[in-house]
């Protein structure tokens, strides 16, 4: 009884609807205008069916929209994956193209140079930061030995300071311990270039009387027997005559972009010793 009292409105409504539908079904083959019950049921059932149809249509529309959104989301994920894949392939292609261009320049350098050379890749840098050195993936098994010159298509990179069977360490020209005999290409003045420890080089032993201007090209003299004569070293960036006593302090910009150094060439010629 408690159950009936609690749900009596719902139960009565359901019973009424069932009875109405039963009467409506019995009189389905008769003209509703001929029976009072048929007209009454039709009047009651019509709005209910309209409501049911509207709710059903609404739910169906929501389901179709949801399904369409799910399909669209799946397609978007697939398209994004394909786009990311194509983007990565484009990056890989551009990297291969750039590397190929650098290697072609190294090959041209090898063909223009008399001594034999071997190409190598930079695979590491000095972790301590105390020295400007790089590790390359060629060693004594490839003919690489200490004191051999290391260059690239831009100019002088440095020299080998030690080598293992498959790797070698390069003392970069930027290191303060590195030095190379040079010429001012325009005036033929002689000097020594040393590393300045950052992105600069120092040109030393240029007397005050020498004519040197910003933009002058500095090349290897070839006198020390390591670097080929005429190999580009750098260009004059600044001159400080106010600091000169006997020699002019000259600052150079290196020819090589050491921040983007990836491939080098080792000249397989040992230093000529006196």
Which DSSP state fits 258? G
Straight-line distance from the first to the last Cα atom of the chain, in angstroms, rounded to the nearest whole number: 122
Q: Given this model, what pLDDT does residue 186 score?
A: 92
Write down the residue that tokens 């002058």 correspond to: 216
Cβ atoms of residues 186 and 156 within 8 Å: no
Q: Given this model, what pLDDT does residue 197 score?
A: 75
Q: Given this model, what pLDDT does residue 2 score?
A: 55
**CA angle (96, 101, 102) in 5-degree steps:** 100
Angstrom distance (rounded) from CA 67 to CA 144:
67
Tokens of 30: 């008769």
Task: Please report, in tens digits, the pLDDT of each residue of the chain (274 residues total).
Answer: 555 555 555 665 656 555 555 555 555 555 545 555 555 555 555 565 555 555 555 566 666 666 677 787 778 877 777 777 666 766 566 666 666 666 666 666 555 556 789 999 999 998 776 789 999 999 999 999 999 999 998 999 999 999 999 999 999 999 999 999 999 999 999 999 999 877 899 999 998 888 899 999 999 998 888 898 999 999 999 998 888 778 999 999 999 999 999 999 999 976 544 3
Angstrom distance (rounded) from CA 131 to CA 235:
23
Q: Phi-psi bin for 66: left (phi > 0), alpha (psi -120 to 50), beta?
A: alpha
Q: Map out the domains of the chain with their CATH numbers.
A: 1-112 (no CATH), 117-172 (2.40.10.340), 179-256 (2.40.10.350)
> Distance from CA of residue 27 to its chain's centroid?
79
């Amino acid at each position: 009884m408690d159950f009936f009292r609690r749900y009596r409105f719902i139960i009565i409504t359901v019973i009424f609807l069932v009875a109405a539908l039963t009467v409506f079904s019995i009189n389905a083959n008769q003209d509703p205008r001929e029976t009072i019950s048929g007209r009454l049921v039709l009047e009651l059932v019509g709005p209910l069916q309209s409501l049911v149809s509207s709710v059903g249509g609404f739910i169906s529309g929501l389901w179709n929209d949801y399904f369409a959104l799910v399909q669209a989301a799946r397609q978007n994920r697939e398209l994004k994956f394909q786009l990311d894949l194509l983007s990565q392939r484009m990056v890989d292609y551009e990297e291969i193209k750039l590397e190929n261009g650098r290697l072609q320049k190294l090959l041209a350098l090898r063909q223009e140079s008399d001594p034999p050379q071997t190409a190598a890749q930079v695979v590491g840098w000095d972790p301590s930061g105390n020295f400007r050195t790089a590790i390359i993936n060629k060693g004594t098994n490839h003919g690489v030995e200490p004191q051999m010159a290391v260059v690239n298509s831009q100019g002088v990179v440095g020299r080998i300071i030690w080598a293992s069977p498959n790797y070698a360490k390069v003392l970069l020209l930027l290191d303060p311990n590195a030095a190379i005999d040079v010429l001012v290409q325009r005036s033929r003045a002689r000097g020594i270039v040393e590393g300045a420890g950052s992105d600069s080089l120092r040109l030393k032993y240029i007397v005050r009387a020498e004519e040197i201007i910003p933009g002058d090209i500095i090349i290897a003299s070839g006198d020390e027997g390591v670097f080929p004569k005429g190999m580009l070293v750098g260009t004059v960036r600044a001159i400080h005559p106010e600091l000169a006593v006997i020699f002019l302090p000259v600052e150079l910009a290196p020819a090589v972009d050491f921040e983007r150094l990836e491939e080098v060439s080792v000249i397989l010629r040992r230093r000529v010793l006196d």
